[in-house]
A = this chain, B = another copy of it.
Amino acid sequence: MTLEIRPFTAADWPAVWAIIQEVIRARETFPYDPDMSSAEARDVWASGRTMVAVLSGKVLGTAKMGPNRGGPGAHIATASFMVAASARGQGVGTGLCREAISWARHEGYAGMQFNAVVATNTAAVSLYEREGFEVIGTVPRAFEHPAHGRVGLHVMFMEF
């Protein structure tokens, strides 16, 4: 089976919310309130261009993307990705990241920025570096990790 990446629809929300809950409750990779409600999460995640990654009919990952800033900063895109814990290491994140880059290039963005990549999330950092991103800088001790304590948050960027 090949991974399908398609637009999020309302019917996907239960599956997407389950992934978001799993990710934010782990507190290891996203600077989101781990106690946010479904409605709050939906405001955050399903307000821009939101995609899902589907394998054998099952939603295994999700992405959201859009301009990183407004006005004079709106030519740089940003994106966020979440993958179900059970599906990691199978290329779901890579597929979502590539689709986001492809979309942003096609839309005419001049680059893509990730604002807060947890330094200990080496799977994500390595994935982004493989796709062409580099670490612009690291805010020290800006993320409270349950196992590692306060770790850095990378700003990562790729110019197109």
Interface residues of A (CB under 8 A from B): 24, 27, 30-34, 36, 68-76, 110-111, 113, 115-116, 135-145, 150, 153, 155, 157, 159
Sample of 11 further A-B pairs with CB below 8 A, known A139-B155, A140-B157: A31-B70, A31-B72, A31-B74, A34-B72, A72-B144, A73-B144, A76-B139, A113-B139, A115-B115, A137-B138, A137-B155
Task: Please give, as numbers and ranges, the residues of chain B lying within 8 Å of A32 by CB-CB distance.
Answer: 69-71
Inter-subunit contact B140/A138 (CB<8 Å):
no
Closest to A30 in B: B71
Task: Please give, as numbers and ranges, the residues of chain B lying within 8 Å of A30 by CB-CB distance.
Answer: 71-72
A145 to B72 CA separation, bound complex (whole angstroms):
7
Task: Please give, as numbers and ranges, the residues of chain B lying within 8 Å of A136 by CB-CB distance.
Answer: 137-139, 155
Task: Please give, as numbers and ranges, the residues of chain B lying within 8 Å of A24 by CB-CB distance.
Answer: 71
Inter-subunit contact A113/B142 (CB<8 Å):
yes
Task: Please give, as numbers and ranges, the residues of chain B lying within 8 Å of A143 by CB-CB distance.
Answer: 72-73
A157 to B155 CA separation, bound complex (whole angstroms):
12
A141 to B142 CA separation, bound complex (whole angstroms):
25
Closest to A144 in B: B72
Closest 3 CB pairs between A and B?
A137-B137, A31-B73, A31-B69
